[in-house]
Amino acid sequence: MHAIRIERQGGPEVLQYLDIPVPEPGPGQALVRVLAAGINFIDTYQRGGLYKMALPFTPGLEACAVVERVGPGVDEVKVGDRVAYASCIGSYAEYTTVDVTDVVPVPAGVGDHAAAAAMLQGMTAHYLALSTFPLQPGQVALVHAAAGGVGLLLTQIAKRCGARVIATVGTDEKAKLARDAGADDVIIYTREEVAPAVRRLTGGEGVHVAYDSVGKSTWEASLSSLRRRGMMVTYGNSSGPVDPFQPLQLAARGSLFVTRPKLGDYTATRAELLERAGDVLAWIARGELKVHIGGTYPLAKAADAQRDLEARRTTGKLLLLPA
């Protein structure tokens, strides 16, 4: 089978398209045929060395796939089942093995591409808006990178909660996508500074929560956009990790809160995984949540896909198609 392999961490050039043996499922595992694999910023962190990985490895945590074989003791899934997952390494491949406790069934009303696109980013948006800072009607949320995969989903879910969304984007094209997703106000950060614009839009009050996947370059703007006792949710590092800071700054800015969540801690049990994924996939099946697929790439072009993602040349979700 063909797969992408990483033998040393570095730039996109370390992504090698190789022919390797099809893996065998062990106890509690299934061998799946990947229909579509999601491309996420965490893949670039693992490739580049921000997150240390045992080498060599096949990247990719997310996919929609079909069960081909099951290992000993498996009765949760059967051959032919269509499943999706967001936390099984190895999805940049034609086949991979997954722990069956990490997969969820895909409803008939959800296509392969939508299922692959919705798992990691959809569940991230779900926990951010419903658990990390449970949005209430009338609250104001700042959503950075609002035309990205998480941003578009988070905007829609925030609006489901009755919140007002102030989105940040870099271009007019991305501004339209954010507005189409429901954003009430859009700041094009290449033309005006974010924090002053937020203060203007909120009558000087600031937002209740800032959802920030960008990291280093937006940290100061996010903190400066919060109202008294507001929450900074920093959940990504697309511009690099946030610099160290003094907690006393939080008191000086209005007794602020800061949290750095990750999906694994919000899908820590099988029941929670099924609940979050079930909500997201059901909303998609009913047409209540729209997944924007910004591009698809053949498996051999994984390096191009990651270059496009890191350069912010994309919108919505990117997918690799092994077939």
* Domains of the chain listed by start with CATH number: 2-118+264-321 (3.90.180.10), 136-260 (3.40.50.720)
The pLDDT of 285-297, averaged and rounded, is: 96
* pTM greater than the 0.85 cutoff: yes
Q: How confident is the model at residue 316 (pLDDT cuts 50, 70, 90)?
A: confident
The pLDDT of 12-30, averaged and rounded, is: 97
Closest-CA residue to 206 (of 217, 219, 221, 216): 221
The pLDDT of 174-196, averaged and rounded, is: 97
The pLDDT of 181-195, averaged and rounded, is: 98
Which residues, 6+ apart, have CB-to-CB distance to 3 below 8 Å? Answer: 17, 18, 20, 58, 90, 92, 93, 94, 96, 299
Q: How confident is the model at residue 314 (pLDDT cuts 50, 70, 90)?
A: confident
Q: Using one digit for the tens of pLDDT, what is the confidence trace for 77-129?
A: 999 999 999 999 999 999 999 999 999 999 999 999 999 999 999 999 999 99
HEC-encoded secondary structure of 130-181: HHHCCCCCCCEEEECCCCEHHHHHHHHHHHHCCCEEEEEECCHHHHHHHHHC
- CA separation for the pair 280, 302 (Å, rounded): 26
The answer to whether 151 and 314 have CB atoms below 8 angstroms apart is: no
Closest-CA residue to 158 (of 107, 96, 208, 91): 208
Q: How confident is the model at residue 299 (pLDDT cuts 50, 70, 90)?
A: very high
Q: Using one digit for the tens of pLDDT, what is the confidence trace for 214-267?
A: 989 999 999 999 999 999 999 998 888 899 999 999 999 999 999 999 999 999
> Is 278 a residue whose pLDDT tops 90?
yes
Query: What is residue 184's predicted lDDT score, i.e. its pLDDT?
Result: 98
- CA separation for the pair 106, 278 (Å, rounded): 9
